[in-house]
């Protein structure tokens, strides 16, 4: 699942994973859990994430390699937040070599919409769960909602700049593959989900 920060990758990845009965592998969630747990990885990642930069390729590839080796990912998985660089995309090809087709869905959203979404986004200050717009407290643990450190306006613009420089080339990396699909992310979540479902089904069949 590709798309700039704020494109809705997490929400849509959850939907696809649930429908397909496979795990959603979110590198962002893995890193945030490490930050909350104050692990060595978490401490190193926090400084990078708070500045709006990307965690280095070797760290991210190692995280994904370990996660995809777990039993629940053998029948398939939905990747959210990886790959974010061409080096990571190249490594992913090797990780899934010989398995089912790698379906690449790119969610396209105008930059002004991304900025508006990100600066308005809130998460739970206790467990890190992303809140829906209508939520007044965390639906998972009841915690108070706060702005993410990396959703400050200046950091948001830096994140989008980094995305354009480092991550957008991944679209070019995948664009000519028969398994690549782009969908319009500037519509209701339900409409985006329907488009993604159709896109996935057009490659692997069944429900999206």
Alpha-carbon gap, residue 21 to 42, rounded angstroms: 29
Other CB atoms within 10 A of residue 169 CB: 13
Extended strands (E) in 94-150: 104-108, 123-124, 145-146
The tens digit of pLDDT for each residue in 147-199 reads: 877 677 888 888 888 888 877 899 999 999 999 999 999 999 999 999 999 99
Alpha-carbon gap, residue 119 to 106, rounded angstroms: 22
Give the per-residue pLDDT at 98.
Answer: 82
Task: Give residue limits of the domains in the chain.
Answer: 9-196
Place of tokens 């002004």: 112
Q: Which CATH number fits domain 9-196: 3.40.50.300, 3.20.20.140, 3.30.460.20, 3.40.50.1010?
A: 3.40.50.300
Report the catalytic residues: 9, 84, 121, 148, 159
Give the per-residue pLDDT at 45.
Answer: 76
pTM of the full predicted structure?
Answer: 0.77
The tens digit of pLDDT for each residue in 140-150 reads: 899 999 987 76
Burial level of 10, CB count in 10 A (0-12/13-18/19+)?
middle
């Amino acid at each position: 699942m590709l798309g700039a920060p704020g494109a809705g990758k997490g929400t849509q990845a959850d939907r696809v994973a649930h429908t397909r009965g496979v795990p959603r592998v979110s590198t962002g969630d893995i890193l945030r859990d490490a930050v909350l747990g104050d692990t060595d990885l978490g401490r190193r990642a926090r400084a990078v994430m708070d500045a709006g930069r990307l965690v280095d390729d070797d760290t991210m590839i190692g995280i994904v390699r370990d996660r995809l080796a777990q039993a629940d990912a053998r029948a398939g998985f939905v990747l959210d937040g990886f790959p974010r660089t061409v080096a990571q995309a190249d490594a992913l090809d090797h990780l899934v070599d010989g398995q089912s087709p790698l379906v690449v869905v790119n969610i396209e959203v105008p930059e002004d919409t991304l900025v508006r979404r990100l600066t308005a986004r809130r998460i739970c200050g206790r467990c890190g769960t992303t809140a829906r717009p209508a939520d007044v407290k965390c639906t998972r643990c009841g915690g108070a909602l706060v702005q993410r450190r990396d959703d400050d306006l200046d950091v948001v613009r830096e994140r989008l700049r980094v995305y354009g420089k480092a991550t957008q080339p991944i679209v070019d990396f995948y664009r000519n593959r028969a398994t690549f699909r782009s969908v319009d992310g500037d519509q209701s979540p339900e409409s985006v989900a329907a488009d993604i479902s159709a896109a996935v089904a057009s490659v692997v069949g069944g429900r999206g």
